[in-house]
Amino acid sequence: MGEFHVSSLVVHAAADQLRVVEQAISAMDGAEVPASSEAGKLVVVVEGDTRNTLLDKFEAIRALPGVLAATLVYHQTDDEEEPAQAGEGVEQ
């Protein structure tokens, strides 16, 4: 059993570099951009198996050329459980 982390960020990018920033984030493993605006705001969802993995991705996003700010909006941690085997947990 391990952990699963998911976070969302609001990223502000220079409007003239929005598409480049969006493409760079989308190319990262475990990151996606489900929404963006022409004004330079992006909603970013980041997933990983450890908190440090997410922190590394946050720092990589903040360091991208054209990124003006990145703000954490949401973070959730869940325990990953192995699926129950057939008949497991069923009393007979």
Q: How many domains does the chain have?
A: 1
Q: Is residue 49 part of a domain?
A: yes
According to DSSP, the residues that pair with 56 across neighbouring strands are: none
pLDDT per residue as tens digits for the range 50-77: 888 999 999 999 999 999 999 999 888 8
- Domain range for residue 25? 2-80
Domain contains 90: no
Using the predicted structure, report yes or no on whether residue 92 has a pLDDT greater than 50: no
Q: What angle do CA 22, 26, 27 make, to 5 degrees?
A: 120
Give the Å distances, CA to CA, from 62 to 13, 29, 78: 10, 16, 25
Assigned domain for 91 exists:
no
Q: What is the rounded average pLDDT for all residues in the chain?
A: 88
Q: Using one digit for the tens of pLDDT, what is the confidence trace for 11-44?
A: 999 999 999 999 999 999 999 999 999 999 999 9
CATH code of the domain covering residue 29: 3.30.70.920
